[in-house]
Structure 1
């Protein structure tokens, strides 16, 4: 059952990527929406789930929050290292200082997240049909955002369209593979929560330090801000319906 439901996530991911491709003439709006979707996923979906699953404290701080901060710092470190290496070897294919490798790394993280979405979906169906249905609604709905963001992140850093499409397809297949893997094992709750906390921190860095500043760089319009708010509101609605 979980694998069958994951096929819906596959289609929704592809639809999100297709949407991102179709609005290239409104790039600032795409980026504003992507930033809002990412912010909503982190604050309203990933972090609360991570806190619930991995809430044990380490020196007075919840484990999930420590990993959240760690994910943010690791994403910042990777981005700086890639930018530094690129600066040391000249400007390269892009003049704005953005390294294509950063986009690929970010998209690869999205693929990893989608894989864990599938694992979470399979684990939920292991608990029971009601839990599985609730998680399925959340996964399928926010996989639109995953596909949208995967294509946007890859292309934003100057990667060719074929690379963006390849990462989009990998992101679409990932939840199906994750759900299928749970036919062979039972996933402990705490490691899943720890992963969600770490990934949430990395995703927040990309939204706050990369996507949203880029969205407002050339078009600091109210419509861009509205798209960001709408992105957060959409995820809030999805979480509310699923809950």
Structure 2
């Protein structure tokens, strides 16, 4: 009897170990290695943003969240880890985002195809951060009214066949009131860092200038040093000011 009990306990823990190993390996493959890039065709570009039956969304998984008491934002394929520029210090990776208006029931799929969302968060918050044990906590503030900031990879910038953290990230702003999703970066630049404590309804970023594509594909040259710029974007006028680089 005791021997059967020991065997049962051993099999139980073995099952738990197998489930954890599968879950971690799945998350690592999807969000570290990335996933295959979907090549857009003229037909797919004309496709609308309505949810697809094959998406297998599960609203009961607890990943969705209500913003501003009216908009339910649901991340498809959510995986979290520590870090990030949002208010809770957590990176929220996902394949896509859905917005559901709780007043009229309208459902909006933000990206027509799955992408690599590196992080997303509401753009209006204040958080305290501690850089060391000596200084007092400092307050970091962003003041974008009813905007969701989305840091996403939509193109395979390093041409390795997958979308992941190694590719250039773009910055999108989603306004749930108008259902507008728009990129804010100037052409030829990618996201590096958020700068806090800018003016109200201003998003200040550190951007990197995309390097020129290598002409000689047979001989891979070392990557040039990335030039950094400050970019201040007014979310009301939808205009930005790009600084020169520091030489």
TM-score (norm 2): 0.22
Greater relative contact order (CA < 8 Å, ≥ 6 in sequence): 1
- Please give the TM-score of this superposition, normalised by the length of structure 1: 0.22
* Larger CA Rg, structure 1 vs 2: 2
Whichever structure has more helix as a proportion of its residues is 1
- Of Structure 1 and Structure 2, the greater strand share is in 2
